[in-house]
Structures are given as C-alpha cells and as structure tokens.
Homo-oligomer: A and B are copies of this chain.
Amino acid sequence: MVKKIAILGSTGSIGKQTLEVIEELGSGYEVVALTAGINDQLLGEQVEKFRPELAVLSEAEAAKRLSNRANLPGCKVEGGREGQLTAATWPSADLVVMAQVGFSGFEPLVAALEEGKTVALANKESLVVGGEILKRLGLLDQGKILPVDSEHSAIWQCLGCSSPGQVSRVFLTASGGPFFGRDQKALQEVRPQQALKHPNWDMGGKITIDSATMMNKGLEVIEAMWLFGLSLEQIKVVIHRQSIVHSMVEYIDGSILAQMGMPDMRLPIQYALTYPEREFNRFEKYDPFGKKLDFEQPDWDNFPCLGLAYDAARTGGTMPAVLNCANEVAVEHFLRERISFTDIPAVIERVMSSHETVHNPEVEDVLEADRWCRRQTKNLIDQFYYGDVKGR
C-alpha cells in the first residue's frame, strides 16, 4: 500500500530532507501536498518533481507566481493561511509532516489532529505553545503525533511498547552547541555567523541559533513533557558533545534504553515516515569501535535560556507561548545584529516577567499572548537597547 504524504514547510531544512528520504525510500511513498512560505521558485521545482495534488504558498503574490507556471498539471495552487489549513487536512494524506518554522505551525497542527490525521511533527514551537490546549482537547493521547526531532524520536524508540508508568526519568541529550564551555564575557562577543555554525547538525538558521543559546533544548523539554505525558521533573538535560546518543529513557527498575546513530535528521524523519516498520537506507551508519561518548551537566548559569524554559513550563498557561515568541523576536534581532548573543536570554526574561499569564488558555488567549509578546519584545529592544520607541 502506498503511504500518501503532505509536507507543510517543504522548502525548509526538514522539508527538503523529508523529500530526500522519500526519494531514497522509492516506491511505497507518494507526495500529495506541499506548502511553503514565499519560496515559489523551490516549491515549483519540488512540485514538478514530486507531482503533488496541492501546492500552497502563504504569501499570496508568491502563490500567484507559482500558479502562473505552465508545467503544474493536476496540481491545485492555494495561498495564505487558509491554504496551509487545506494542506494540513488534505483528504488523501495518510501522514502530515509539519516542518514549518515557529509558531505558524500551531493552527495547522490543531486542524490536522482534529481531522484525525497522523502528524509527523518537526515544528516543536506549536507543541510548546499549544501543548496545554491540545491536552485539554484530548488531541495528545491518541498516538497521532509522531516526533521528528531527533531527541523525541529517540525517546519514542526507547519507549517501544512499554506500559505507561514504567518510566522514571528521561535524559534529553544536548550537544551544547558551538559555545559550550565559554563564559559570559566570551559569549557577549559571539556574532551571528559564528552562532550559525553547529558542530554536529546541519539544520535551519533559527534552530541553529536556538541550539547555541540552549533555548532549543528548553523548548524540547516542554515538547517532551507534552508528547510523552512526563512531568517536568522527570526530564533531565544532559550535555553530550558527540551528538550520537539522541536521548535516553530510564525505567523504574533502573534499566536505561538509549537510542544512538549518526547526527543526521534523515534518520528520525525516515522513522516517522516508515513507522511502525523500518526500512533499509544507504545513509552513513554509526560504528561504535574506537569511539567515546561522554555526558556532562549543562551550564545553567552561562546559558540561562534552558532555565527560562523550565520556568515557563512550570508557570504554564500562556507563558510558554511568551517564552517561544520572545525568543523568536530576540533571535531575529540578534541575527540583524541589533542585540548581542547574551541579550537574547535577558530580553526573554524581561518579557516573561512583564507577562500576566492566562491559565487554562483557549486558542485565542495563546494567539493574543503571541501578538502581545511580539510588540512587547520589539518595544523592549527598541527602548532598552536603543532608547527609541520606534526602533531603527
């Protein structure tokens, strides 16, 4: 039987690698919908190659350019937020891969899950922001979300078919990013070009910066909490510089299962696509001979984003949305060299402390917290770092 796949965010890093995996898998997998933001050029090439039934670009102009291309027979083109929701609930799709960047993935995720779709989730922000709502809606407990993040895929694989209540702790591994071991003074000097170089993983820009600040791991802690029904206290972050052990699960009897492999996002992507089966591939294999693996405590003082994520999760309600949004805005300003690397956690902490948390939020509360946070973070940066309410 052919498995039909919709990919939301197909021109990003995870989206492109998903298409690569589908090509490597060969027959048995078919692409039925592709979506992107504004990159009509690349989406057009993907459409020509994979012949989906639907292609969506969030930006209306880009969608128009795409539909003007002559060679898209049998492919419906849509634009805007509505188009993303159409793709997320596309009738023929057996599996919806959610590979968008940031908070924009939240509404399509809700739509897909409400439609009963199985989702391969790479967009961690939507779970960070909306986990509490998804839980309340009963959308988390149906085994319909297959994790794509390497750490969560690892936990999922280590859990296998174990009974609930058998897990004592989860060790979420973190490479530590390019600046692990540096002190506050050295971190102040970090430039975007340095932060964009990850020692082990080849990933998109936003997530690479999040890796360098450890916010990525913080978001993953919250993601793991919702995905696997864990308490925050059960999730331990452990620095593992080699990025070979992708995470570990400790059971109540003291037995630990660890999932290992090359740091290659195509492996967890493939597992989500082929689950519950596994398929052979020609990707490089890890060989343990002559190798060392080591594990250290995170540096909580010099990488405060990790602690902020635990704080936000502990507060709950709309606070994780504010954590995520303040981080998105701060990273954007860091990349534009408007704030320094160490300003990122400082900005997030200030925005969080000025937020009045709405508990048991509805979708609209989360959307409003996000809108508030975007204004608030930008204003804070403009005022605090530039003494200017309008920004520069």
Contacts and interface: CB of A to CB of B under 8 A. Distances in A.
A278 interface: yes
Interface string A263-279: 00001001100101111
A286 B279 CA distance: 33
A111 interface: no
Contacts of A267: 253-255
A274 B162 CA distance: 13
A294 B297 contact: no
A167 to B, nearest CB: 9
A383 interface: no
A259 interface: yes
Interface in A311-329: none
Contacts of A255: 157, 259-261, 267, 271, 278
A286 B236 CA distance: 14
A288 B172 CA distance: 11
Contact of A254 (B160, B161, B238, B285): B285
Contact of A288 (B162, B238, B280): B238
Q: How many copies does the complex hold?
A: 2
Contact of A260 (B258, B279, B280, B290): B258
Nearest to A270: B253
A162 to B, nearest CB: 8
Interface string A171-192: 1000000000000000000000
A248 B278 contact: no
Contacts of A251: 278
Contact of A274 (B161, B253, B283): B253
A49 B297 CA distance: 45
Contacts of A114: none
B280 A253 contact: yes
A230 interface: no
Interface of A: 157-158, 160-163, 166, 171, 238, 245, 248, 250-262, 267, 270-271, 274, 276-281, 283-286, 288-297
